[in-house]
């Protein structure tokens, strides 16, 4: 067994004896186990590559010398130059640099040049400078011993390397081939300001550098203050070919105080970008999961693919294994993430009887890919498959706020006037009140858009086509002919031509006539007629609702004109524009469509963004009918100093025909196909107002509101504010809906009812100092008077160390998901683990943050 050497003095000044230092280090180690785990043989696939060290030179020719009296050239005595060898200059840290022009002379300058013929030496004294291939060596004295084949620089030696490293030493001796050397009182400052110092250093075999009583730190320090952290060791051995640093009899020190002692420790040198090894661990505690400890291990398999395995231990649930495979190819990349646990259902919250179905293996597979097939075409996918709807949210692999699972495979192509998209979707609901109707597939959805190159009747002509094939396999529909469970199928082709032309008369009135022609073909199997669904006295859907299969064709023609008359005025403050806008749209008076199922037009939000749309629905399955007039006024202000404001207010009037926004019908569950209280159900719509303000470059407000057409009561509002004032960044959002459809998450059989919803979302980051920042986010339910979600994180980041502490509280409940408090801690040491971090914090309003 190797006997440990007496520990050396560390990175900072200390009056402790070597024995006391070792005892103190071992004692501190017992209280710092978490930090020990953070970097024992740690590497990172994302670590920065750095170059450090002494460069040896190979001029291979002559020495040009200049003194105060002139210049001279020394011819070499041997066949191999005293500064020449087969090797090009090499760095202490980094690969050998082969970009050396050996034809260049080495220029030597000093106050005094002495030729010692008897000793076969050349001596330069006083302000000596040597220039060679962008290397600059300065010293008080340089002695070249031709017989011994050595070059010795003495006194205040400084070597500036092309990479930016700066080497300081008291004495620097090299062999004539620059393979081996000896440096006394060495100090190196790298380009990224990392430091290595030693009492002396020896280079041998052209590859191994050994630092005696060495100290390494990437941290900066002022004056006599020790660096934040440092590794000091009796011996630090750098193997250049293996790109490893080996520490013997080492201390990890914080502010010059030894925290723990390691007899042997090895890590990759700072030039390594990726290498197999442990990554930075995560520590935390959750009220539902218990204490959390995860230590990932990274496998550097090849330059273009790698793998990571991370066992995560939850004290209340057991051991979960995670793995990730990443692969980059010439035209794209993909990854696969696995997670699984052998679940003991008795450890889960809630009823043991209900949880029995979750006993055994639970897990998920997540994969993403994106490939460029050509300059116009892209192919990719995003998919997550899990054993049950609760797994990923319960184990915090996804945000607690994720309510739906959407998987897709896509192919897209785009040129100057063409766009093509083909997507396969799988939709799944993750909440208790999700029914089988939320589990469905599209195979596929195809969109093709083409803009004709030449004008048609002086205007722009577009051709749009949509193809949909949709299946829902949930067992909720019974075929009336066979009495067996049946799939619901929808197949649809929609093709339309849209024409637009803009004209402006002599006084500035703008006229935009438009016309649309559309043809649809629908084929349904086992579809539910929304008009046939009624509720019984218990408030549930009648089971005998009509189910039908049919093929339906329909043609739609609409046309109209948009007229606007902008008025502009300028003053010292800026430019004001007031623009009245009117639109007349005529469709067929009525189209039989209420009995047809609605799959893609269930979202109906009436606001200023679709006030002048010919149809306010989000999809193709419902279309506007009758004659309608949309009217509004827009005010825009553009200040001379860059400020901006825009307001748009208006209303829609239904003049004749069938108002499709009224009486939406119900689906098989008895819930409305779309919200009947949408603001368009009456002949005079609600009023809509949009406000967009940016008075300063760092301050923005967006507000969209809807007001009752008779009482002017607020019916809906969505507002957001984003601002930055010096070190403070704020994002805030407000949401209000007086007629929201609310479903009971604890009882999926209860039909959705109208209820008021009001929420406030906010996030902020405050940069306390250059290194310290604090941030947080919150989601507050104003209607119920409670916090749904909130988080706080404290971050410290400097040039060599990062600490992130987070607290997350969730008050959501859904089967296994219970109110939870989580505390997470992450430590990162530069060159010893992950350091892909920043001083800022990115917020996802209303959601928790995920570290990748």
Helix (H, G, I), strand (E, B) or coil at 610: helix
DSSP state of 800: S
Q: In the structure encoding, which two tokens stand for residue 263, read together?
A: 């007899």
Could you report the per-residue pLDDT of 793-829, keeping only the tens digit for each? Answer: 999 998 888 888 999 998 888 778 888 889 988 888 8
CA 345, CA 391: separation in Å to the nearest integer?
A: 12
CA 254, CA 829: separation in Å to the nearest integer?
A: 12
Residue 590's CB is within 10 A of a number of other CB atoms, namely 12
pLDDT at 57 > cutoff 50: no
pLDDT at 19 > cutoff 50: no
Could you report the per-residue pLDDT of 760-776, keeping only the tens digit for each? Answer: 999 999 999 999 999 99
pLDDT of residue 828: 84
* Mean predicted lDDT score pLDDT of the chain: 80
CA 603, CA 123: separation in Å to the nearest integer?
A: 87
- Yes or no: say if 436 and 474 are a contact pair by the CB < 8 Å rule: yes
Average the pLDDT over each of 273-277, 352-356, 365-369 and give the range with the smallest value. 273-277
Name which residue leads in pLDDT, 271 or 558.
Answer: 558
Give 326's contacts (C-beta < 8 A, 6+ positions apart). 305, 306, 307, 308, 333, 334, 335
Look-up: residue for tokens 């989580």? Answer: 822
CA 145, CA 681: separation in Å to the nearest integer?
A: 99
Name which residue leads in pLDDT, 541 or 831.
Answer: 831
Q: String of b and e for 19-32 (b: at least 16 CB within 10 Å)?
A: eebbebbeebbeeb
- Say if strands 63-67 and 106-109 run parallel, antiparallel, or are unpaired: parallel
What's phi and psi for 608, nearest 5 deg? Answer: -70, -20
- Say if strands 332-343 and 360-372 run parallel, antiparallel, or are unpaired: antiparallel
pLDDT at 41 > cutoff 60: no
Residue 70 burial by Cβ neighbours in a 10 Å radius (0-12, 13-18, 19+): exposed
Give 529's contacts (C-beta < 8 A, 6+ positions apart). 545, 546, 547, 548, 595, 597
- Say if strands 360-372 and 112-116 run parallel, antiparallel, or are unpaired: unpaired
pLDDT of residue 1: 35
Mean pLDDT: which of 81-95, 495-509, 536-550 is highest?
Answer: 495-509
Gap between the terminal Cα atoms of the chain? 42
Helix (H, G, I), strand (E, B) or coil at 24: helix
Q: In the structure encoding, which two tokens stand for residue 350, read together?
A: 């809630």
CA 63, CA 75: separation in Å to the nearest integer?
A: 7
**Long-range contacts, 706-710 (Cβ 8 Å, 24+):** 706/606, 706/607, 706/679, 709/651, 709/679, 709/682, 709/684, 709/685
Average pLDDT over residues 328-337: 96
pLDDT at 471 > cutoff 50: yes
Average pLDDT over residues 423-442: 77
Average the pLDDT over each of 48-52, 201-205, 786-790 and give the range with the smallest value. 48-52
pLDDT of residue 104: 75
- Say if strands 277-278 and 282-286 run parallel, antiparallel, or are unpaired: unpaired
CA 10, CA 16: separation in Å to the nearest integer?
A: 10
**Can you say whether residue 559 is alpha, beta or left, with left for phi > 0 and alpha for psi between -120 and 50 degrees?**
beta
The DSSP element (H or E) to which 353 belongs, if any, is helix 352-355
Count CA within 13 A, CB hemisphere, residue 308. 25
Residue 607's CB is within 10 A of a number of other CB atoms, namely 19
CA 570, CA 576: separation in Å to the nearest integer?
A: 6
What's phi and psi for 564, nearest 5 deg? Answer: -140, 150
CA 583, CA 585: separation in Å to the nearest integer?
A: 7
Cα four-point dihedral sign 65, 66, 68, 69: positive
pLDDT of residue 206: 65
What's phi and psi for 227, nearest 5 deg? Answer: -70, 165
pLDDT of residue 170: 87
Could you report the per-residue pLDDT of 218-237, keeping only the tens digit for each? Answer: 888 876 788 888 899 999 88
Count CA within 13 A, CB hemisphere, residue 23. 5
Total count of residues recorded for the chain: 852
**Residue 688, beta-bridge partner list:** 650, 706
pLDDT of residue 833: 62
CA 449, CA 852: separation in Å to the nearest integer?
A: 36
Could you report the per-residue pLDDT of 616-658, keeping only the tens digit for each? Answer: 999 999 999 999 999 999 999 999 988 999 999 999 999 999 9
**Residue 186, beta-bridge partner list:** 198
What is each CA distance from 109 to 51, 130, 151, 583, in whole angstroms?
Answer: 28, 6, 15, 85
- Yes or no: say if 380 and 418 are a contact pair by the CB < 8 Å rule: no
Q: In the structure encoding, which two tokens stand for residue 836, read together?
A: 């892909």
Helix (H, G, I), strand (E, B) or coil at 170: strand
Name which residue leads in pLDDT, 368 or 525.
Answer: 368
Could you report the per-residue pLDDT of 680-695, keeping only the tens digit for each? Answer: 999 999 999 999 999 9
What is each CA distance from 363 to 391, 397, 411, 817, in whole angstroms?
Answer: 7, 11, 29, 16
Q: Is the peptide bond before 444 cis (omega within 30 degrees of 0)?
A: yes
Could you report the per-residue pLDDT of 143-180, keeping only the tens digit for each? Answer: 888 887 787 889 888 888 776 777 788 888 877 555 67
Could you report the per-residue pLDDT of 188-216, keeping only the tens digit for each? Answer: 777 667 788 888 888 777 678 888 998 88
Give 25's contacts (C-beta < 8 A, 6+ positions apart). 251, 258, 259, 260, 261
3-state secondary structure 409-457: EEEEEECCCEEEEEEEEEEEECCCCCCHHHCEEEEEEEEEEEECCCCEC
pLDDT of residue 582: 97
Q: Where are the beta strands (DSSP E) in 674-785?
A: 687-696, 699-707, 714-725, 728-742, 753-767, 772-781
**DSSP states along 242-284:** TTEEEEEEEEEEETTEEEEEEEEEEEE-TT-S--SEE---EEE
Confidence (pTM)? 0.75
Query: How far, rounded to the nearest angstrom, does the alpha carbon of residue 347 sit from its chain's CA centroid?
Result: 33
The DSSP element (H or E) to which 213 belongs, if any, is strand 208-217
Q: In the structure encoding, which two tokens stand for residue 755, read together?
A: 């209820």
Average pLDDT over residues 240-269: 86
CA 47, CA 777: separation in Å to the nearest integer?
A: 30
How many helices, marked H, and strands, marked E, lie in the chain?
4, 44
Average pLDDT over residues 278-302: 89
CA 200, CA 337: separation in Å to the nearest integer?
A: 48
CA 852, CA 849: separation in Å to the nearest integer?
A: 10
DSSP state of 841: -
**Residue 247, beta-bridge partner list:** 236, 265
pLDDT of residue 434: 65
- Yes or no: say if 617 and 624 are a contact pair by the CB < 8 Å rule: yes
CA 232, CA 609: separation in Å to the nearest integer?
A: 64
Rg (CA), the chain: 37
Cα four-point dihedral sign 828, 402, 619, 737: negative
- Say if strands 627-639 and 644-656 run parallel, antiparallel, or are unpaired: antiparallel
Residue 553's pLDDT band, with cuts at 50, 70 and 90, is very high
Q: What is the CA angle 774-776-782, rounded to 5?
A: 150
């Amino acid at each position: 067994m190797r006997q440990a050497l007496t520990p050396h003095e560390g990175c900072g000044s200390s009056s402790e004896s070597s024995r006391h230092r070792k005892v103190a280090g071992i004692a501190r180690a017992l209280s710092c186990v978490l930090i020990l785990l953070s970097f024992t043989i740690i590497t990172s696939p994302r670590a920065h590559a750095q170059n450090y060290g002494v460069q040896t030179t190979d001029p291979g020719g002559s020495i040009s010398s200049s003194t105060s009296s002139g210049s001279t050239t020394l011819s070499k005595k041997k066949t191999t130059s005293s500064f020449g060898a087969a090797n090009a200059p090499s760095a202490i840290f980094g690969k050998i640099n082969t970009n050396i022009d050996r034809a260049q002379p080495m220029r030597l300058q000093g106050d005094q040049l002495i030729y010692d013929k008897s000793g076969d030496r050349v001596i330069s004294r006083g302000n000596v400078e040597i220039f060679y291939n962008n290397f600059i060596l300065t010293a008080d004295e340089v002695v070249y011993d031709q017989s011994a084949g050595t070059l010795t620089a003495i006194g205040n030696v400084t070597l500036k390397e092309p990479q930016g490293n700066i080497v300081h030493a008291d004495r620097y001796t090299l062999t004539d081939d620059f393979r081996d050397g000896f440096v006394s009182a060495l100090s190196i400052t790298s380009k990224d300001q990392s430091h290595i110092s030693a009492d002396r250093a020896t280079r041998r075999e052209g590859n191994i550098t050994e630092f005696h009583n060495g100290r390494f730190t990437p941290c900066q320090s002022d004056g006599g203050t020790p660096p934040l952290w440092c590794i000091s060791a009796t011996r630090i051995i750098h193997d250049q070919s293996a790109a490893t640093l080996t520490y013997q009899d080492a201390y990890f020190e914080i502010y010059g105080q030894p925290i723990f002692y390691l007899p042997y420790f090895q890590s990759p040198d700072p030039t390594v970008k990726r290498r197999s090894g442990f990554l930075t661990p995560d520590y935390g505690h959750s009220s539902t999961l218990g204490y959390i400890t995860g230590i990932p291990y990274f496998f550097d398999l090849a330059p273009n693919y790698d793998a990571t395995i991370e066992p995560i231990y939850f004290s209340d649930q057991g051991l979960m294994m995670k793995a990730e495979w990443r692969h980059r190819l010439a035209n794209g990349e993909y990854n696969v993430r696995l997670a699984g646990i052998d679940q003991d259902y008795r450890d889960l919250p809630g009823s043991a009887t209900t949880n029995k179905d979750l006993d055994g293996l639970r897990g998920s597979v997540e994969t993403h890919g994106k490939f460029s097939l050509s300059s116009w075409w892209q192919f990719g996918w995003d998919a997550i498959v899990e054993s049950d709807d609760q797994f990923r949210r319960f184990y915090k692999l996804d945000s607690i706020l994720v309510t739906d699972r959407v998987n897709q495979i896509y192919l897209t192509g785009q040129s100057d006037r063409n766009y093509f998209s083909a997507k396969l979707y799988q939709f799944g609901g993750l909440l208790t009140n999700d029914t089988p109707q939320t589990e469905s597939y599209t195979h596929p959805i195809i969109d093709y858009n083409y803009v004709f190159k030449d004008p048609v009747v002086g205007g722009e002509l577009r051709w749009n086509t949509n193809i949909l094939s949709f299946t829902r396999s949930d067992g909720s529909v019974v075929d009336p002919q066979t009495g067996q469970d049946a799939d619901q199928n929808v197949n649809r082709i929609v093709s339309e031509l849209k024409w637009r032309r803009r004209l402006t008369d002599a006084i500035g009135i703008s006229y935009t006539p438009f016309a649309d022609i559309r043809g649809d073909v629908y084929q349904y199997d086992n579809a539910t007629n929304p008009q046939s669904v009624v509720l019984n006295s218990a408030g549930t859907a009648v089971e005998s609702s009509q189910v039908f299969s049919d093929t339906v064709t329909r043609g739609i023609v609409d046309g109209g004109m948009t007229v606007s008359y902008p008025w502009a005025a300028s003053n010292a403050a800026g430019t004001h524009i007031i623009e009245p806008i009117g639109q007349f749209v005529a469709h067929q008076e009525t189209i039989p469509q209420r009995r047809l199922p609605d799959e893609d037009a269930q979202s109906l939000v009436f606001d200023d963004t679709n006030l002048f749309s010919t149809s306010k629905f989000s999809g193709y399955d419902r279309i506007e009918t009758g004659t309608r007039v949309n009217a509004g006024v827009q005010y825009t202000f553009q200040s001379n100093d860059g400020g901006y404001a825009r307001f748009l207010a208006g209303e829609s009037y239904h003049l004749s025909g069938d108002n499709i926004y009224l009486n939406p019908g119900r689906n098989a569950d008895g819930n409305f196909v779309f919200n009947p209280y949408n603001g368009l159900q009456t002949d005079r719509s609600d009023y809509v107002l949009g406000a967009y303000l940016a008075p300063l470059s760092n301050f923005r407000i967006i507000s969209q509101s809807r007001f009752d057409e008779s009482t002017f009561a607020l019916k809906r509002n969505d507002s957001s504010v984003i601002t930055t004032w010096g070190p403070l960044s704020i994002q805030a959002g407000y949401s209000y809906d007086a007629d929201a459809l609310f479903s009971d998450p604890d009882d999926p059989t209860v039909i959705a009812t109208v209820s008021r919803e009001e929420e406030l979302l906010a996030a902020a980051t405050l940069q306390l100092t250059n290194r310290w920042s604090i941030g947080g986010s919150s989601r507050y339910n104003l209607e119920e008077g409670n916090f749904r979600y909130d988080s706080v994180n404290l971050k410290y980041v400097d040039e060599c160390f990062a600490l992130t502490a987070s607290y997350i509280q969730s008050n959501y409940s859904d089967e296994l998901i219970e109110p939870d408090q989580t505390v997470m801690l992450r430590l990162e040491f530069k060159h010893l683990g992950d350091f892909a971090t920043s001083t800022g914090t990115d917020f996802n309003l209303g959601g928790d943050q995920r570290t990748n």
